[in-house]
Every structure is written in C-alpha cells, then in structure tokens.
Amino acid sequence: MEPIFLKPVFKQMIWGGNRLGTDFGYEIPGDDTGECWAISAHPNGDCQVKNGVYAGMSLSELWNDHRELFGNTEGDRFPLLIKLIDARADLSIQVHPNDAYAKEHENGSLGKTECWYIVDCDADAEIVIGHHAKTHEEVKEMIENKRWNEFIRVIPIKKGDFFQINPGCLHAIKGGTLILETQQNSDITYRVYDYDRLSNGKPRELHVEKSIDVIEAPFVPYQVSATKETGAGYERQNLITCDFYSVDKLELHGTVAFTQDKPFLNVSILEGDGTIDGIAIRKGDHFILPAEYGEYTLSGNMMVITSSL
C-alpha cells in the first residue's frame, strides 16, 4: 500500500497573491493565485492522483469506486477539503450556514464548518473572527445600520495561531496572511460585508438576510488545548476535534514510527522535508494515507498538519 499523492488545483482570485509560487514552489497560474485546493474531491476542483496504481484518477472517482481506501466511510462525497490560501488583500466578511439551514435553503447542500492554521503572516497581520453584538437582535441592528467598526471583531494574529470557525461565526482573512484551511466539503458562503469595495465598477453581491439568519450571538472564541503529546523526535498537538474532523499539528525532528488507524488520514507538509517510508516528501506535498495503511515511518525535519474524521 502506498501514500496517495494528489495534484493541487489552483484558483485565481482578485485578492490572491504569488506566495504559493514563491514560498511553496508550486507552478501557479498567475500573480493573483488565491487558493491551492490540495486535497479536494469537490466538482469545482477535483484533485488527480499523482502516483501508483490509481494515478490519473480523481479523488472523487477514488471515493466512488474504491471506498475501501477510506475505511468504507458512508456518504455521497469525500467529506473534507484542504486548501492553502494566500491573501494579498482583505477578503470579504462571510458566514456559513449549518447543515440544517443549508439543507432547507440551499438545495440539500451541506453547511460548512472550517478551521484555519496560520502558516505565515505579516508582522502586523490581523484577522476577522466573530463580532461584538451581545444578542441576535443586536446583530441585526448593527448590520442594518452598517455599524461595521463596532460590530466586527478584529484581532492580531501570528504564525502558528489556529481558529475553529463553526457555522454562524463571522470570519475573514485579511491581506498578508497565508493559511491552511481544513473544511467540510461545501461551498455555501454568505457574504455579509465587502468593505464597500467595487469590482468592475459594482459592489459584489451580498447575502445580508441569510447572514442575519445564521450569525450566532454572542460570539464565543475557541481555545486550542495546550496539551501536547511528546516523544523522541516529535511533538504532536490536537488543534481541534469536532463533529466533522480532527486536526493535528506534528513537528518532527528525526525518525519516528506512527500508526494510521483512522478511516483515512490527510497529510500536508507545511515546512521542511524528509521521507515517508523511504519516499521523499517536502513542503507543499499533500497526500492521503488510506485505511489499514498501518505503521508508517516519517523521517526528517518537518511541520505537518494532518486531518481525519
């Protein structure tokens, strides 16, 4: 059994930059490359397998035809989506619905829970997470009266910070930020506010009513557990375990054997280089360790983010 390496899909965005090329060494389509869909079976960016017996197949085909690789997990779609995002400019401020709201209002689509690991950012970078309204009534009033400065919660960030973004949580990346996003495989986003910017002479579409419906109040910040598992040559920290995914950060300095005992494990190398079971890997590689992969050995100096169900 081999790790399943995937070929990323790139997305050009008005707010995108060039760091996925300069920092990660990808061949990007332009200097406005905002997103690298690294592990994705979404129809808007379905990653191809790079190696082994499944080379050339898309992740969605693998999910449909070889469910045993994913521990026979049930579901009509590969449940997660892993992206790198390079924001040169501020993104619009958004909120996602939960599964129940999306099912009713978005043709049976899934809602979206996501989380962000700050891979790198400018020294003075900030992020939008949550709001300052105390009640749902106040959310509505502040949005309708455009009291954005009082409403929106903006906080400073640094490399290594982590944010869980549950449905109903207002959020936006600001310019100068590079993140790894782990999310439910869904695209349903409501745009609340776009800093009154114009795109081709017009403001972009907002979804104010649906946003007001789904924004939760008051906002409660997520605290990452400080507990780390340490062993010879590694340190591993669980960043989040929620209903949709579990995300870990692994820092490796040496050679360490681990066991893959999940239905499948998504692996993203974010710093350094080394090997997995003798296969060379480096920053920017993304792969899946399938079900029953069993014991695997990582070697090198690397920082890795993994996710599983």
Catalytic residue numbers read: 191
∠ at Cα 200 (198, 116), nearest 5°? Answer: 60
Distance in angstroms (rounded) separating the CA atoms of residues 168 and 156: 21
Question: What are the b/e assignments for 40-66, b being 16+ CB within 10 Å?
Answer: bbbeebbbbbbeeebeebbbbebbeee
Q: Which residues, other chains included, contact 195 with Cβ-Cβ below 8 Å and sequence gap of 6+?
A: 90, 92
Distance in angstroms (rounded) separating the CA atoms of residues 98 and 158: 28
Three-state secondary-structure class, residue 180: strand
φ, ψ dihedrals at 69, nearest 5°: -65, -20
Q: Find tokens 């709001």 and name the residue.
A: 131
Tokens linked to 199: 């795109």
Q: Which of 98, 120, 74, 86 is nearest to 169 (CA)?
A: 98
Partnered with residue 46 across adjacent β-strands are 41
The distance of Cα 41 from the centroid of its chain, to the nearest Å, equals: 14
30 half-sphere exposure, CB direction, 13 A CA radius: 8
Distance in angstroms (rounded) separating the CA atoms of residues 89 and 178: 11
